Amino acid sequence: MNGDAGMVANTILTFLPNVVTTFISFGGAFIIVMQHDPWMALIALLGAPISFLTSRYSAKRMRDFQRDNQNVASDRTVFDQETFQNLQFIKAFGMLDRVTEKFHKIQQESVDVALKQNKFQQSMTIATSLVGQAVGYACYGFAAFRLWQGDISYGTMTMFVSMAASLRGSFSGILGLMPMVIRSGISAERIMEITSLPRDSMEDKEEADAIREKGRECGIYVHMDDVDFAYEEEKWIYQDASFHAEPGEIVALIGPSGQGKTTTLNLILGLYHPQKGKITVGNPGGDELRASSSTRCMFSYIPQGNTMFSGTIADNMRMVKPDATDEEIWSALEAACAWEFVEKLENGMDTEVRERGTRFSEGQKQRLSIARAILADAPVMILDEATSALDVATERRVLRSIIKNEPHRTVIVAAHRPSVFAMCDHVYKVGDHRIEEVDEEGIRRFLDEF
Ligand SMILES: Nc1ncnc2c1ncn2[C@@H]1O[C@H](COP(=O)(O)OP(=O)(O)O)[C@@H](O)[C@H]1O
Ligand SMILES: [Mg+2]
């Protein structure tokens, strides 16, 4: 994106002034030569149609080259990012050779593309300069002929030859700018692909804020009624799915991996929209809204996986609440059972997290994420297997203190572990293209199956 924007800006800044000056010098030379001898002007522009046609052909080829270049560049970026992120994994599995091989392959691809493009450009340059030379000699010969016939003076001939050269020069100057214009056209296209993505609508923002405020006293419910959802047409994750989470409840979504737990949480967050049915959030006995980007302010969400950023622990906490005091951070860390290890660090909450939190264990990172979500202080908390790396006792303490601090809080957890189920008011099983509430017996059966 950055590179593309630079390309477009650069083209606008260099192309426009260049076109203006080139047109002025072209027009001036053309008028002078035309006034003295229209034939001479015609000969000087003899190469123009050829140059024009070749430049059209090369424009098309350049477009292809540019596309290949950009594809290779993005492959390379993805490769770099993935490799560095998974470095430990790659080393642990002794995959260095294979990764190096892939690196060489990508490198070879970019060399091939660059070589092909260079070859093409060089041969085009040679061809156009040969045409230019031929036309130049034609002009020179014509002028010498007129001089020999006594039509023009020696001085006029010199003027002709130099004007004709300037005419040709400015014409090919304009054509020479074409590759740059083409490249930036492609860049502009790519930028527009991003800027034309649909935007999150925030039209219900005020109502959503009002519901959130009221939720501080009476809580917020999340209802999903008769929902059909598929990422791709006809491939239903589930149909006619319903579940209800009321204020003060802990509701669990259980089910085997890949059946739609995370999907359900994404639907609740308004990140996707159901094909049928509705998902609503609202105050009991009060207003309600359909889940959308506006209603996201009611949730604090702890996704699956690592969400630590570089900076100190306190910096990470203040991401969701910039004006949080040290006391507020301390109490959030304590509620998430994170204070017990943060306290022992040499700089306490001012300890550097380091890149992606490498200095902490998975369970510690999860507790920090939970502390951050608690600090955000939203009426509904969503945890996507966010306690999976904690031991059972700590998991219970964390979940209990989430509810204890805020009795109206609604908590929705996606989980595998039976330890969580015992604390929940309702347990829903996600699987077999359905969502159904299960009782203790059902939970036992679920656990037996897996
Ligand atoms: N963005 C997506 N596009 C298409 N399919 C997806 C997407 N996200 C998840 N899926 C598919 O939906 C199913 C449910 O995934 P998910 O909700 O993540 O399961 P889990 O219950 O393990 O959280 C899986 O089969 C997965 O492949
Ligand atoms: Mg999941």
pLDDT in tens, 173-192: 777 777 788 888 888 988 99
- Give domain status of residue 200, yes or no: no
Structural domain count of the chain? 2
pLDDT digit string (tens) for 286-301? Answer: 889 998 888 888 998 8
**CATH number of the domain encompassing residue 85:** 1.20.1560.10
> Do 408 and 352 fall within a single domain?
yes
Residue 441 to residues 12, 103, 137, 302, 423, Cα–Cα distance (Å): 70, 53, 97, 29, 15
Ligand nearest to the Cα of 264, by number: 1
User: How far is Cα 206 from Cα 212, in angstroms, rounded to an integer?
Assistant: 10
Looking at the fold, whether 221 and 245 belong to one and the same domain comes out as yes
- Check whether residue 155 and residue 243 sit in a common domain: no
Which atom of ligand 1 lies at the shortest distance from residue 231's CA? 4
Q: Do residue 171 and residue 191 come from a single domain?
A: yes
Do 222 and 190 share a domain, yes or no?
no
CATH number at residue 222: 3.40.50.300
221-230 β-sheet, strand order: 236-245, 221-230, 276-282, 288-290
How far apart are the C-alpha atoms of 105 and 181, rounded to whole Å?
Answer: 31
pLDDT digits (tens, 9 = 90+) for 236-249: 999 999 999 999 89
Determine the structural domain holding residue 107 and report its residue range: 2-195
Residue with tokens 């003295």: 36
The whole-chain average pLDDT of the chain stands at: 87
Question: Which residue, of 165, 195, 225, is where some domain finishes?
Answer: 195
Please tell me the predicted confidence (pLDDT) of residue 38.
85
If you measure from the C-alpha of residue 428 to the centroid of ligand 2, how many angstroms do you get, rounded to a whole number?
15
Same domain, 187 and 228: no
Question: Per-residue pLDDT for 221 more than 80?
Answer: yes
Distance (Å) from CA 236 to ligand 1 centroid: 11
Which residues fall inside 5 Å of ion ligand 2, going by CB? 261-262
The protein residue with its alpha carbon nearest to ligand 1, atom 7, reads 231
Q: Do residues 212 and 124 both lie within one domain?
A: no
What does the buried/exposed string (b/e) look like for 93-102 if buried means 16 or more CB atoms within 10 Å of the residue's CB?
Answer: eeeeeebeee
Whether 403 maps to a domain, the answer reads yes
Half-sphere exposure of 33 (CA within 13 A, CB side): 28
Least confident range from 211-220, 326-335, 353-362, 404-413: namely 353-362
Element spanning 195, H or E: helix 178-195
Query: In this structure, are 175 and 229 located in the same domain?
Result: no
pTM above 0.75, yes or no: no
* CA 149 from centre of chain: 71
